[in-house]
Amino acid sequence: MQAAAAADPIQPANGHRVVEMGAVNRFLDDILREKPARFSPENLREFTRNYAERLGSGGFGVVYRGAFPSGAQVAVKILNSTLDRRAEEQFMAEVATAGRTYHINLVRLYGFCFDATTKALVYEYLENGSLDHVLFEHDHRQRITGDDDEELGFDTLYGIVVGTAKGIRYLHEECQHRIIHYDIKPGNVLLTGDYTPKVADFGLARLCNRDNTHLTMTGARGTPGYAAPELWLPLPVTHKCDVYSFGMLVFEILGRRRNLEPQHNAVSQEWYPKWVWRRFEQGRFDDVATASGIAGKDMEKAERMCKVALWCVQYQPDARPSMSSVVRMLEGEEEIARPVNPFTYMASLHTISTSSSSGGSAFTAASGDSSQEFRGSRGSIGSQGW
């Protein structure tokens, strides 16, 4: 009798039944696992008030701001009317991947539209847009470096780094099937009103079983300047390609600038990650911090970010840490060994690239030694954050 009584909901004096917490949690879990909805073109016109507010555009199409009848804000990504085979594959990857994931640091896909006239994706709306706008656009950069605005101080940027790492960790280690993103970069990290980061744009993502450690690639993927060398060279590809790209993203947050920005006085035209490594190797991390305006209590976290980034961009994938280890190191829960030089391979790649007219651009894009490649990568896929 006692066991049966314990299993029943508690009966309060007024006779109303108290809802069991277990039942509520199961209901909420079912909601979170709900598949993305399929919307009609009429739905999209209703959500966007006939496409009244345009947020941005790119090679993929146009993004509009909208809202569900409930009031929830959404971003509606209308794809170009003609999709080639690769674009269709990316569309399907986005629905299959983002549609089965739910994490505070991943952009949520509410649904899609796919018919003869309209192809679209409907996401949650992120108030502060993409990280590349925050880091690289003039108005946002003034907010980062200005003395009168602490909202985008170092703690906020550090939080963006940790949150992004947790989002990638979820994809690699916490999903039922490992998900490799393939295109981690500032343009694919979106920010909420309080600057919580959310990884977006799963168009290049590929689902794989955790036991399948190596993948066969067909064609180069990712964005020059962020893509790991194995995505451009005849090397095995694993989830560690995302770790490399995350390291490049951390360098840009640490420097508060693009990794190659010839107009930047502090490091001239030298590639920023390599410049950071040389200063770190010489015991001159203060130079790195000074160039980014980092001082005082932020120095410890900044140096931690620097060490993690140097480990993430190691040439050999096996030398790169897992994303769970990255999170622990960033949060000070795991000791960070002294990094080794991640750029020793560049001299040989440069020699190969200059002697091969057919493969030169791929090698220089992977190594980061070519300023032309890096300048050319601006405005690439995902530059609008969608």
Handedness of CA 356, 228, 278, 270 (dihedral sign): positive
The closest alpha carbon to 159, from 339, 306, 301, 323, belongs to 301
| 185 appears as a binding residue in the annotation | no
DSSP character at residue 221: -
End-to-end alpha-carbon separation of the chain, Å?
A: 58
Active-site residue, 183 included: yes
Q: Which DSSP string do the residues of 93-107 spell out, in sequence order?
A: HHHHHHTT---TTB-
Pairwise CA distance, residues 149 & 145, whole Å:
8
As given in the structure block, the two tokens for residue 368 are 């980061």
Contact (CB, 8 A) for 292 and 279: no
Q: Which of 132, 183, 242, 298 is catalytic?
A: 183
Neighbours of 153 (CB within 10 A): 14
CA distance 10 to 19: 8
- What are residue 271's phi and psi, to 5 degrees? -65, 125
CA neighbor of 386 nearest in space, from 42, 116, 125: 125
User: Annotated catalytic sites, by residue?
Assistant: 183
Binding-site sequence positions = 77
Annotated binding-site positions for ATP: 77
